[in-house]
Amino acid sequence: MTIGEKNVSVAALLGRHGVASAMFVTAFNPFGCELSAEQNAARQRALEAHIAQAGWMALSGEGLDPKNVWSAEASLFVLGATESDADSLMLAYEQNAVVVVLGDGLPRLRLHPRYR
């Protein structure tokens, strides 16, 4: 997925799972503060447990920096998550932003509530 570029495969995936939205989220590097691999892995495990406990289905992926400044970050594509869910997870896992996709398959950057 690329922010702002409609992705028909993602739209089809949402349709196949009968959900109207999804989000792409990580727990790595809270608010851009680079952590060790071990710290990031522990945070990501906590996020995975949180998502599983909420009953969401999530697909593993990686968040890639198009400018190659940041290393790839383990991420989850959480099917059925809403914009409100995205805000809650950004607050809980100290993320500046997540990617939200609605049924149209257009990935949109959703900023942390304090940046809006």
Classify residue 3: in a domain, yes or no.
Answer: no
Q: Which residues of the chain have pLDDT under 50?
A: none
Distant-in-sequence, close-in-space partners of 92: CB < 8 Å, separation ≥ 6: 50
Classify residue 1: in a domain, yes or no.
Answer: no
Classify residue 73: in a domain, yes or no.
Answer: yes
Classify residue 29: in a domain, yes or no.
Answer: yes
Classify residue 39: in a domain, yes or no.
Answer: yes
The pTM for the full model equals 0.93
Residue 91: the pLDDT is 97
Question: In this structure, which amino acid lies at residue 110?
Answer: R
* Domain total of the chain: 1
Classify residue 2: in a domain, yes or no.
Answer: no
Start-to-end CA distance of the chain, whole Å, equals 23
Classify residue 53: in a domain, yes or no.
Answer: yes
What pairs with residue 110 in β-bridges? 98
Q: How does pLDDT run across 53-81, given as a tens digit for each residue?
A: 999 999 999 988 788 887 889 999 999 99
Range of the domain at 102: 8-115
Residue 82: the pLDDT is 97
